Amino acid sequence: MTEKIGNITLDYEFYPGEDLYSDGDVEEEMLEIAGNHTEDEFPKIIEERGSWPIFYHLSPLRENIIEWVPLDKSMKVLEVGSGCGAITGALAKKAGSVTCIELSKRRSMINAYRHRDCDNVTIKVGNFQDIEKNLDNDYDFIFLIGVFEYAQGYIGTDRPYERFMEILRRHLKGNGQEGRLIIAIENKFGLKYWAGCREDHQGLYFSGLEDYPQDTGVRTFTRDGLKKICEVNNCNEYSFYYPYPDYKFMTSIYSDEYLPHVGELCTNIRNFDRSRMLLFDEKNVFDTIIREGLFPLYSNSYFLVVGKELPVKYSKYSNDRAAEYAICTDIRKPGSDAEVSVFAGNNRKEANFIVEKRNTTMQAKKHVQEMKTAYEKLTKRYQGGKLHINHCTLSPQGTPVFEFVKGRSLEEMFDELLDKQDFAGFEVLFKEYVDRISYNAGVEITNYDLIFANILVDGEDWTAIDYEWTFEKVIPAKEVAYRALYCYQLGAAKRQKIVKQMVDNVLQLQEETIKQVVEQEKEIQKKIAGERMSVGMIRNLIGNPIYNPLGVEMGEAESAEPNLVQIYTDNGTGFSEENSFMLADKRRALQKEEGAGKENVSFVLHFGVDIKAVRIDPDHEPCMVTIEKAVWNGKPLPLQSVRRKNCFSTNGISIKNGVLVFEKEDPNFTFSLEHISKKEDNMLEISMNVVKLPKSVLGRLVN
């Protein structure tokens, strides 16, 4: 009735003898991965396979959703619907004992193999209703991560969600009065669904917004819907948290006591599992929602805590990085009188909250501890000036703890001036920024991270709240200021028009200096990323397209750098530089082009009847390209060679249909049109994602 895989115990007492649901053959693939590889190898494998199920089930980033929850080794935890173990390992590291319930034997085996070194995990395989009667009644936490919406399948009553919560709470300490029930679930009214993402479970457009006209037994809820379920169960204490972009691959989590600020929510293209439409720029709409005080209604996901509130009110994960820079930033209530008084000598703000930065890998411990040294040196530099460096001390564990500073970000203030088209006011404020950061410019210590989002303004007080990237050398203040402008324009398309004015009127930098700053920024980002693919890169690798029917112009935070796409045409004399053009130079002529950018390039070109071939150079550096659409006069073009008719060729490597990897610095692919019908006016439509990747990552994809 039991089986041991490593230190993990699988209990089959209530297993029905067959798995009643499955993702198919990919689960066998994941079982092989879990059985023959360590979790440290999973990120590399995810990049090599380019598969949504493998990314979803095996990515360590899934753990973010519960990593911030304050568990300790005295605690007993129940995980319902543990699946392939996406969060089981994180629970095992933090809690004393973990009991999992999972209907699928194969998924339970994947979980067991990947966590076989954990000696505090038991996996009960079978139906929840059968197992529930034998569960203990003293759990400190019960977790349902992406499970509550399936209650109709777990509980056979006419009010399955209310009943599911009632049953679960009986297994918490003190009959539900002492422990906590945690539910992570999509918001039926999440903004991404209005913007054109399909409903996660049914795969249909707008089905949640329409209240599930096609009932498939799965249902998500609005905030008010979840609140009503709590009230039916006489839950006296509950609190809502708001994972962003959603709970699956969370990078930040907010609460009612710490909601997002205008300008923060700019990472919204996360259609990993299927195609989506793009009906509006979600960042701009989120900004409007935040100003109107409606964010809790439109958050893409909820993290509901039924029971006593948690001390953490906000967490931001920067662990989609090289291991030596993987950190988390928490805003939490002070845990002791000592923490309340830690900033008492400063006499600037009340210590209702404190900010703590933690390393999420052992390799990042040194990076985190260096922030205290940076604080001391920056404070000395700016002493007597008009830029305050946020106070920092070390906790007993050696992690840096910062003062919680109130105020508006400089980014928000700049956006407000931009919306009013007050360009003169923008320039005045930018000059003040340059003046304040220039104090003691000759001192060999520079906070290179003085971007506008990292400066809070409260009256005359300007505070630099982040100095993670501090260098012990002199970097001219104008270069720091240009980097801030460069990062600012990446966040929204509307910001780009102000940058040239600030460079010409205030910074007066030479073109060579600007190029140097941009190249330096790229090098820093490469260093931070290491050999890891970002989540955005993995999305492109998986390859599900974005349809932009309205030609929505996205900010460069999501479309990245202006494109370097070059088009070559052959009218019978072969390809040549003379018969080529840069796509960016043709933008005004191409009325149907949909905003070219590094990650999302769509365009339409017209050719005469004498056209023989078209060559497309998607970039000038090694990269990965996902061709989402290639249409000639309304008919799809082949994306691979066809027998006797070499219609498609490339100097890259095709890792799957439409996905090309280029290790060379002259990437290109060609459509030969010799055997394709033509007319007087021919139209070529192309939509593709183009992502630069480190050579080490490209090598793993093609080997």
pLDDT tens digits, one per residue of 151-189: 988 887 789 999 999 999 999 998 878 999 999 999 999
Mean pLDDT of 493-512: 88
- The model's pLDDT over 71-128, given as tens digits with 9 standing for 90+, comes to 999 999 999 999 999 999 999 999 999 999 999 999 999 999 999 999 999 999 999 9
- Least trusted range by pLDDT, from 14-28, 395-409, 546-560, 578-592: 578-592
> Are the beta carbons of 617 and 565 closer than 8 angstroms?
yes
pLDDT band (50, 70, 90) for residue 518: confident
Residue position matching structure tokens 């996901």: 301
Residue 344: the pLDDT is: 47
Q: In this model, does residue 507 exceed pLDDT 90?
A: yes
pLDDT band at 433 (very low <50, low <70, confident <90, very high): very high
pLDDT of residue 598: 42
- pLDDT exceeds cutoff 70 at 599: no
Give the sheet arrangement for strand 408-409, strand by strand. Answer: 388-389, 461-464, 455-458, 408-409
User: Which residue from 268, 254, 191 is spatially nearest to 491, judged by alpha carbons?
Assistant: 268
Does the structure show a pLDDT above 60 at 305? yes
Q: Given pLDDT bands bounded at 50, 70 and 90, which one contains residue 592? A: very low
Phi, psi of 673 (to 5 degrees): -110, 15
Mean pLDDT of 261-290: 90
Q: Is 633 helix (H, G, I), strand (E, B) or coil?
A: coil
Q: Which pLDDT band, with edges at 50, 70 and 90, does 554 fall under?
A: low
Q: Alpha-carbon distance 692 to 564, whole Å?
A: 12
CB 580 within 8 A of CB 568: yes
Residue 528 has pLDDT above 50, yes or no: yes
Average pLDDT, the chain: 88
Evaluate if residue 381 carries a pLDDT over 70: yes
pLDDT band at 562 (very low <50, low <70, confident <90, very high): very low
HEC secondary structure over 348-359: CCCCCCEEEEEE
Number of other residues whose CB lies within 10 A of the CB of residue 692: 19
More confident residue, 700 or 357: 357
Question: How is the chain split into domains, by residue range?
Answer: 2-188+212-247+302-316, 322-370+385-403, 411-529, 560-702
**Range 569-578 burial, b when 16+ CB lie within 10 A, else e:** bbeeeebeee
High-pLDDT (> 90) share of the chain, %: 61
Output the pLDDT for position 446: 96
For residue range 643-680, list pLDDT tens digits in order. Answer: 445 789 998 888 878 888 888 778 999 999 888 888 88
Confidence of residue 225 (pLDDT cuts 50, 70, 90): very high
CB of 171 closer than 8 Å to CB of 137:
yes
Compare 376 and 642 and report the one with higher pLDDT: 376
* pLDDT over threshold 50, residue 455: yes
**Tokens standing for 537?**
């890169």
pTM: 0.81
Q: What is the mean pLDDT of residues 51-70?
A: 95
d(CA 334, CA 155): 40
The fold adopted by the segment(s) 2-188+212-247+302-316 is: Rossmann fold (3.40.50)
Does the structure show a pLDDT above 60 at 342? no
CA distance 167 to 162: 9
Enumerate long-range contacts of 589-594, CB under 8 Å, 24 or more apart: 592/551, 594/548, 594/551, 594/552, 594/687
CA atoms of 495 and 484, how far apart (whole Å): 12
Work out whether the CA dihedral 143, 226, 241, 557 comes out positive or negative. positive
* pLDDT score for 564: 65
pLDDT band at 438 (very low <50, low <70, confident <90, very high): very high
14-51 pLDDT, tens digit per residue, is 999 988 888 788 999 999 999 999 999 999 999 888 88
